[in-house]
Structure 1
Amino acid sequence: MHTIMPIAPLTAAHAMAYKALMLHAYEHAADSFTSTPQERALEPDSWWRGRIDDPSGLTWVWGAFAEAELVGTVSVEYAAKTKTRHKGLIVAMFVREHFRGQGLARKLMRAAVEHGMARQGLRVLQLEVTQGNTHAERLYQSLGFEPFGVEPMAVWTPDGYRSKVHMWLDLASMGARKNQPS
């Protein structure tokens, strides 16, 4: 068992560790992502820095650390357009294999949800999960996300096409649940 430090927002100083973690994720959890490691490896370092140090404030990335090693991450992309500013999209959720089962995915997801709840005007968080990834689906449902559709043939993998389950969380209902007596 490793000593896990708290979940924290990533900064530009974490860019190369984030790049290494995500390239590992794209390779070792290929069915979970729409990008390949080969595609993302071509991105310049400035792209990776911009991903976690977004001056517009529309993308936020959190990390989980064991000692100084980045071992997990999740991102939220907020919409900029007037008609969709009430929504955020959770992406790039990943925890390194030997750090799973310690509650890191739940902690990362809670950080993303709490950030969404605190964001002015945000009403909905959405995500996609590869159909059949029951651990992830159960985690998201335990946090209040509900499925609202399945996209058939969403991604092509060496094992064939995989569908994606679309899930959403009504943040207003989360606030109501939070304020209810337990």
Structure 2
Amino acid sequence: MEIRLLTPADARNYWTLRLEALKNHPEAFLASYEESVTKENAVEQTAQNLTAEGNFTFGAFDQDKLIGVVTLLQEERKKIRHRANIFAMYVTPSRRGVGAGKALMTAAIQKAKDISGVEQINLNVTASNHSAKQLYTQLGFQEFGLEKNALKIDGVYYDDAYMVLHLKR
């Protein structure tokens, strides 16, 4: 398995995996499949996002096939530039349990440590996603809050757990 930063050349494969994630796990993402699948110029916009300053999207590849992704985004505003956020973490179901998620998160954490001034990484995760929460806890993240009814999908509410990793400098 190879972990590397994605480039604009990976945009189409990223978008395909992103739509899979939104379809399979709507409770795990703010964006919806229905909104995303009709988005104009989605691949082109994705390619631009992959080169945006402070935006680092890592991919896990198994024999050149993209099987997982995670994005690390540094905050831009002066008072919160010491923070970075994890977004869009996903591993395709057939490849879960082989360490791709841990490898992706480890790469994102290392990148955050390499960015001057970043002192903590924040993320939120569906509170009922115990395997993801367990992974994040193993990597040093601590839960600091819970938002009840954060998402509502087809009349069902989902809570979000907020987690933070304080980087040791």
Q: 5 Å matches for 1:33-182?
A: 33-41=29-37, 42-44=39-41, 45-54=43-52, 57-158=53-154, 160-172=156-168, 175=169
TM-score after normalising by structure 2: 0.95
Root-mean-square deviation (CA, aligned residues, Å) is 1.0
Q: Which whole-Å deviations, capped at 9, do the CAs of 1:38-76 have from their partners, x for residues lacking one?
A: 21221412211122121xx21100001111211100001
Aligned residue for 1:35, secondary structure, equals: coil
Shift of 1:158: 2.5
CA–CA distance in 2 between the matches of 1:49 and 1:101? 29
Structure 1's unaligned 5+ residue stretches are 176-182
The aligned amino acid for 2:114 is: A
CA–CA distance in 1 between the matches of 2:34 and 2:17? 14
Change (3 A) 1:66 1:32: same
CA–CA distance in 2 between the matches of 1:27 and 1:72? 15
Q: Which whole-Å deviations, capped at 9, do the CAs of 1:126-172 have from their partners, x for residues lacking one?
A: 00000110000000000000000001111112260101000000002
Aligned residue for 2:104, secondary structure, equals: helix
Count of matched residue positions in the alignment of Structure 1 and Structure 2? 167
Q: Percent identity?
A: 31
Q: Return the index of the structure with the highest Cα Rg.
A: 1
The aligned amino acid for 1:58 is: G
The aligned amino acid for 1:75 is: T
Runs of 4+ that moved beyond 4 A: none
Shift of 1:113: 0.3
Aligned residue for 2:111, secondary structure, equals: helix
The aligned amino acid for 1:126 is: N
